[in-house]
Each structure stands twice: as structure tokens, then as C-alpha cells.
């Protein structure tokens, strides 16, 4: 009977601890979801400057597939430009991809462009520039390059007018967010093991 009472007492003391650990797991899960959304969301790049393009002797070809959202206007008169590159200063810039005569960037469509520019390492950023009255909405941008895997950037939102807008997975801010996400996931795993072990001991 004494042993049974001790076991019950120990179980009673463990309940608040398990509740606290469960609460910590919940808080970390919210933190991870917010951090990941910040990493994946497109943003305005006010300081981005395409005049920093490097003129290299070697040239590579890039296949760029831009899908237009079904939420976009049926057709667009907007002027669309793109710039993308790696984390080492190699940048490709293509002005005026739009061409109303060929029905470019129509609603629910995908357009493929062959763009030549400096050879890069793994592509990690892309920005779109829009100027016009129609409010074009891209769904995604997918880029194939020689020597590195294809990369897809999901937009699904209106590109603000007259500003470079997109993703940068190679700057210090994104690296910090990714590190925080990785540490958060490790903490979740550790907390899971602690809760599982505590439950087993009960």
C-alpha cells in the first residue's frame, strides 16, 4: 500500500511538469510556423540595384518559367522585368519580359523565357519589377540553370508597382531565420523525447 501511495504521489507531481512541457511544445510550434512564413514570404527590396550586374566573359543560359495566377487580370499591359542571382554577386537582369502581342502573362498561364547572363553558383534570390495599371499577379517563378538544381519561388500575391519584389534566400537575414528554425526543430524533438520518457516512467 505504501508503494502504491508513493507511485500515485509521484504521478500527481509529474502532471504539472507534463503540462508545462506540452505548453512549451505548443509555443515552439507557433514560433516555427511564424519563422517559416517569414522566410517564404516575398518582400519589397527597396535597396536592390540592378546596376551591380557583373559583366563576365563566360555566359550561361537560364530557362525561366513564370506562371501567372488565376486571380490576375485576364491579360496585362504591365511592364515586367526580372533579376536573379547567387550569393556571390553574380546577377542576371532581363528587362521587359512582357509582350501583349504574344499574350504574355495572361491569366492562368505559364510563359517560358530563355535568358543569357553571367554564370552563377546556386541561385538563391529573384526579384520581379512591375510597372503598369493592371496589377499583374504571378503565381510562381521557376528557374533552371546549368550546373545547379532548379529553384522555385512561390509568389501568389500582387507585385507592388515600381519596386523590386521577391525572395532572397542567401542574405544574412534569411540565414538567421533558417538557423532559428533549425534550432527550434531540435528543441521540439528534445521536448518530445522528454515527454515520452516521462509518460513511460509513470
Tens digits of residue pLDDT in 158-195: 999 999 999 999 864 444 444 454 555 566 666 666 66
How many helices (H) and strands (E) the chain has is answered by 2, 9
Helix/strand/coil for 82: strand
Instruction: Say if CB 85 and CB 123 are below 8 A apart.
Output: yes
Q: Is 72 left (phi over 0), alpha (psi -120 to 50) or beta?
A: beta
Provide the 10 A C-beta neighbour count for residue 91. 21
Q: Supply the pTM of this predicted model.
A: 0.66
> What pLDDT is stored for residue 143 in this prediction?
97
Mean pLDDT of the chain: 78
Q: What is the CATH number of domain 47-162?
A: 2.60.60.20
Amino acid at each position: 500500500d505504501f508503494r502504491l501511495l508513493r507511485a500515485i504521489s509521484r504521478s500527481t507531481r509529474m502532471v504539472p511538469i507534463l503540462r508545462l512541457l506540452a505548453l512549451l511544445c505548443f509555443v515552439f510550434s507557433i514560433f516555427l510556423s511564424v519563422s517559416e512564413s517569414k522566410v517564404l514570404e516575398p518582400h519589397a527590396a527597396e535597396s536592390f540595384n540592378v546596376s551591380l550586374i557583373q559583366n563576365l566573359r563566360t555566359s550561361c543560359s537560364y530557362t525561366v518559367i513564370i506562371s501567372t495566377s488565376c486571380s490576375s487580370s485576364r491579360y496585362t499591359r504591365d511592364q515586367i522585368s526580372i533579376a536573379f542571382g547567387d550569393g556571390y554577386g553574380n546577377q542576371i537582369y532581363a528587362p521587359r519580359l512582357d509582350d501583349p502581342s504574344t499574350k504574355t502573362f495572361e491569366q492562368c498561364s505559364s510563359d517560358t523565357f530563355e535568358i543569357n547572363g553571367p554564370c552563377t553558383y546556386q541561385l538563391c534570390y529573384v526579384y520581379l519589377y512591375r510597372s503598369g495599371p493592371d496589377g499583374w499577379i504571378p503565381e510562381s517563378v521557376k528557374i533552371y540553370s546549368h550546373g545547379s538544381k532548379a529553384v522555385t519561388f512561390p509568389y501568389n500575391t500582387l507585385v507592388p508597382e515600381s519596386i523590386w519584389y521577391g525572395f532572397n534566400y542567401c542574405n544574412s537575414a534569411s540565414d538567421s531565420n533558417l538557423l532559428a528554425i533549425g534550432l527550434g526543430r531540435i528543441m521540439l524533438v528534445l521536448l518530445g523525447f522528454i515527454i515520452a520518457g516521462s509518460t513511460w516512467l509513470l
